[in-house]
Structure 1
Amino acid sequence: MLLVKRITAINGNRSVNPNDNTPLNTVVDDSSPNDNHPNWPNGLLVGATDAGRIQPGDELEYTIYALSAGGGAAGSVTICDRIPTALTFRPTAFNTEPPAPGGTAGERGILAFLNRPADANDNGPLAYTNSDDGDSARFFLTGESLPSACQGASDNGAVVINLSTMPNAVTPENPTDSYGWVRFRAISD
């Protein structure tokens, strides 16, 4: 499983950081082997590895891209991403997006695109609740015990989502459910 993290919006702007014009809408190669695999869909890895100048109160959107790039299906894929220090998770960031199956009514601060035929909304992104309910994502508060996939403590909160089983990519976008992304937003302190 390959994971690549990018900053994909600041204060809702997906083109540039409004504070200093750092581009946010281009494909960036950070020279990590994770973003150089030939089976990534063309143009998917959009965003900045360094967003440039941030001011208190700015809202940053993080996107974690995932690609099943092994020799077989990746089973029980769980992504755990800790909220960076000096940021506060925005629990209502995706309340207006279509809800993921199984979640209860409540705040939705996690958005994911997993291009699975069983998903609602014509295979578009779905919003997951922050609580431990029927959907496959959760936000863990600072100090809460994290699942083993996180390998450590929750110093500033963490976003955790179970992507279940993902078939391995044999070519870019083939099969279509061999890649996806998870998104959350946080406010700069």
Structure 2
Amino acid sequence: MAMRALPRPMRAALLATTAAMALSGCGVLSPLPAWELVKATGTATSTALATAAPAKASNTVHHGDAPVKTLCIEYNRNAPLEDLVPAMQAELRGQGVESRVFEPGTGLQQCGVWLRYVATIEWGVPPMASGYRANLSAASLSLHRSDGTLLASSSYQAEENFGLARWAGTRNKIAPVVKALITGFES
């Protein structure tokens, strides 16, 4: 693959890594320049991970109902990714929708619209890290009226991009799905 075909952050990380390997810690006056280059490589890699392959919503169904202004999120204990619900709530606020979180089966009289979700979580060791970390690999969100009528649904599925896309933040992955769920438009 040509270097130009790589996203800019990945090119920067690759160039910094190549330069660091060429120096191999041998500085003429001091090893500090080589150390600074290694640190810069880590920063470039972190930047590449944060911006790798923008997530996309897919399989969106939206029935064109009036815009939702408040909803309740039914907490799913089978999707224990600690930043998933906060990420959904932040993106909902960005769409002008207020939300509250309830355990399944509670709050039924308090909410006219429910967001339900399922998620697949994978574990792995990110580049430049030493321990395992959970990451969101797939998610499906759906909006329902309190009587169970489906208002909208949308999904996210991780796409491989040199293995870096899987380490993007949960909020980056879920943002287009929440937007599609509320607006009906995939981005």
Name the TM tier (shorter chain). under 0.3
Using the size of structure 2 for normalisation, the TM-score is 0.26
Larger Rg: 2
Using the size of structure 1 for normalisation, the TM-score is 0.26
Higher strand share: 1
